[in-house]
Chain A
Amino acid sequence: MSEPLLQVSDLKKYYSLKTGKLFGGRTTVKAVDGISFELAAGQTLGIVGESGCGKSTLGKTIIRLIEPTSGRITLDGEDFTHLTGAELKKARRKMKLIFQDPFASLNPRMTVKDIIGENIDIDHTYATKAERDDRIREVMEMSGLNLDFMDRYPHEFSGGQRQRIGIARAIVLPPKLIICDEPVSALDVSIQAKIINLLKSLQREMGLSYIFISHDLSVVKHISDRVAVMYLGHIMEISDKASLYRSPQNPYTQALISAIPKMPGEATGEKIELAGDIPSPADPPTGCCFHTRCMHAMPVCSQEQPELKQVGPDHWCACHLCKQCVSV
């Protein structure tokens, strides 16, 4: 296998919180706790999980908008974790982020042209203004934006249009990797379909890699090559998508897939209803973080944290039950 574009190993992000007690103790919230994966060029890794599982923190930690507590990020063969100053700025050109809320992520006082062009301006990529504007026009066309709207402001656009502006901004200096943090969650289904199609066609044209963060398993399945399932800062299962959706190994993944309201024609297996809510990340359960809600919990689950084990050709799962089924 060729060198992966992005390698993340044992990435951790801990936050320190005051407990609220007088002469207070402090407690740590393990938002991202020992995440490792690889992403090949031109591929899409989907990251799914419920709110509070650390998937957005993971995205922001990879691009170092949030500094990781420990761990290593290797981008394109270069250690990204300890870069500073001009080198960091240069390396960040390869990695861009698209945000969930297209209403909060665009500066309301800048025109569309300037929002998209800001990257170019900071970078001084083009010598003349005409060249710069040509490039902006080009990416606006690629993103499906009407060129007449170049001088308008974000508030004049609908949610789907704004998300296109966010995408145009991300590709104006061609990156290698785009981290999409819930890019379609705020959109209606018919708009969502358009944005997903756009992301896929850009991937084909530009050879982009995506990390696609979402809580929607159907959308993730549609766009990803591999999928990782997160729960309380841990990867519970990571696999190529066919294997993950056909035979999920982790009880959490099974429950997650069964909980999606199904359309007619989709296989509806037995509904697995999980009791309770996600535990607070400030006070995670000992052992396997899922054992408090798991229907197969065994005594060992509350004592020992399961490691990711290989259960198929490209299928890893962190669960004590999976010991028996490993035969690869």
Chain B
Amino acid sequence: MENNILEVQDLSMSFFNSHGELPAVNHVSFSVKKGKTLGIVGESGCGKSMTSLCIMGLFPQPPGKIVGGQILFQGRDLTKLPAREMHKIRGKGIAMIFQEPMTSLNPVLTIGDQIMETILLHEKVTKAEAKRRALEMINLVGIPMPEKIFASCPHQLSGGMRQRAMIAMALSCEPDLLICDEPTTALDVTVQSQILSLINRLKNQLGTSVMLITHDMGVINEMADEVIVMYAGQVVEQAETAELFAHPTHPYTIGLIRAIPMLDTEVEELNVIPGSVPMLYELPEGCLFAPRCPYATDKCRSHRPEITEATPGHSVRCFRYMSGWEGE
């Protein structure tokens, strides 16, 4: 499709170790539209970070290996690109912001050097020009006194400032797609709201598409245009944000939304999902969610459902929404 900047089709990535093949990303398909935000939500271990690392070609390799599917970025399949070509795309075409800015910034280089490094690598510019652009980026992300921050090392900055510096670096070559992997999880709420509105502002200003990975349903609601919910390496539900919250369909999504304490309503007991996320080496035979699902039938325990459209634009991986469902 023309207006999809990124299309992931049937992507599978597995780790190979003493347990055998562990499907960390399991037949995942989705697309990111130009200028839009796609939210990926799920609990830890559901494969959301691994999916983004596959796109960047940064997953540990070995033991990881892409075993199927393709990642189409602007019409080119990233899984087949040689390393040299990937270098050109990382940072220029697709940039990424990580959860913990302290561990992703180089502690012995100044912020300015790190931003300039990206620019010098991808663009044919002089050092002076790169410095001017780096300062401009630092200014753009709302850091007061750009010159001072330019010459500071990461440890001299607060968490919010570091995350801003990361964003400045990621956006310095005006990427077409920005992947944010839990960009605000390590930050306080007041700083989180600053960073989220910054990402939104820059998205509109620069026309960047955003892929936002988070475990926080509230962040998804406020940021994303479209959402996919992941569970144990699979996409279990996909819809536009308003539709997903209005009609959550997959039992996992419903459980997840109900487990969050709400600010406005008062309940004595929070809803819980029984059991826990299965380990990759002990995945159940049937539907991956069946052992924890209140509606599971024998069919669920023996067969894996495919993802299908329940209503137009709203897909779900559950037998309840397919013809021939008998249990309840």
Interface residues of A (CB under 8 A from B): 50-51, 158, 160, 188-194, 196-197, 200, 215, 217-219, 221-222, 245, 255-267, 271, 273-274, 277-278
Question: Is there a chain A Cβ closer than 8 Å to B255's Cβ?
Answer: yes
What would 17 A/B residue contacts be, using CB atoms closer than 8 Å?
A: A50-B188, A50-B191, A188-B44, A189-B259, A190-B272, A193-B272, A200-B268, A200-B269, A215-B188, A218-B262, A221-B261, A222-B267, A222-B270, A261-B218, A261-B221, A264-B242, A273-B190
A312 to chain B, nearest CB (A): 19
State the CA gap A50–B160 with chains docked (Å). Answer: 12
Question: Is there a chain A Cβ closer than 8 Å to B219's Cβ?
Answer: yes
State the CA gap A217–B262 with chains docked (Å). Answer: 10
| Chain A hits for B188, CB < 8 A | 50-51, 215, 278
Given contacts A219-B261, A277-B160, contact A259 B219 (CB under 8 A): no
Question: Is there a chain A Cβ closer than 8 Å to B193's Cβ?
Answer: yes
A1 to chain B, nearest CB (A): 24
| Chain B hits for A261, CB < 8 A | 192-193, 196, 216, 218-219, 221-223
Interface centre among A190, A193, A196, A264 (most CB of B within 10 A): A190
Asked if B263 contacts A257 (CB within 8 A), the reply is yes
Q: Which B residue's beta carbon lies closest to that of A198?
A: B272
- B246-280 interface mask toward A, CB cutoff 8 Å, 1 = contact, 0 = none? 10000000011101111110011111110011000
State the CA gap A218–B246 with chains docked (Å). Answer: 21
Asked if B246 contacts A50 (CB within 8 A), the reply is no
Asked if A264 contacts B270 (CB within 8 A), the reply is no
State the CA gap A217–B193 with chains docked (Å). Answer: 14
Question: Is there a chain A Cβ closer than 8 Å to B194's Cβ?
Answer: yes
Asked if A193 contacts B270 (CB within 8 A), the reply is yes
Q: Which B residue's beta carbon lies closest to that of A255?
A: B190
State the CA gap A277–B159 with chains docked (Å). Answer: 9
Asked if A188 contacts B43 (CB within 8 A), the reply is yes
Given contacts A189-B43, A261-B219, contact A218 B191 (CB under 8 A): no
* Contacting residue for B190 out of A188, A190, A194, A259, CB 8 A: A259
Asked if B276 contacts A273 (CB within 8 A), the reply is no
Asked if B245 contacts A273 (CB within 8 A), the reply is no
| Chain B hits for A277, CB < 8 A | 158, 160-161, 191
Asked if B189 contacts A196 (CB within 8 A), the reply is no
| Chain B hits for A194, CB < 8 A | 272
The 9 nearest A-B residue pairs measured at CB = A261-B218, A222-B261, A50-B188, A193-B270, A188-B43, A193-B259, A259-B193, A264-B245, A259-B189
State the CA gap A158–B276 with chains docked (Å). Answer: 9
| Chain A hits for B260, CB < 8 A | 189, 193, 218, 263
Asked if A190 contacts B273 (CB within 8 A), the reply is yes
B270 to chain A, nearest CB (A): 4
Q: Which A residue's beta carbon lies closest to that of B193?
A: A259
State the CA gap A252–B242 with chains docked (Å). Answer: 30
- B13-50 interface mask toward A, CB cutoff 8 Å, 1 = contact, 0 = none? 00000000000000000000000000000011000000
| Chain B hits for A217, CB < 8 A | 189, 263
A190 to chain B, nearest CB (A): 5
A194 to chain B, nearest CB (A): 5
| Chain B hits for A51, CB < 8 A | 159, 188
State the CA gap A255–B191 with chains docked (Å). Answer: 11
Asked if B263 contacts A245 (CB within 8 A), the reply is yes
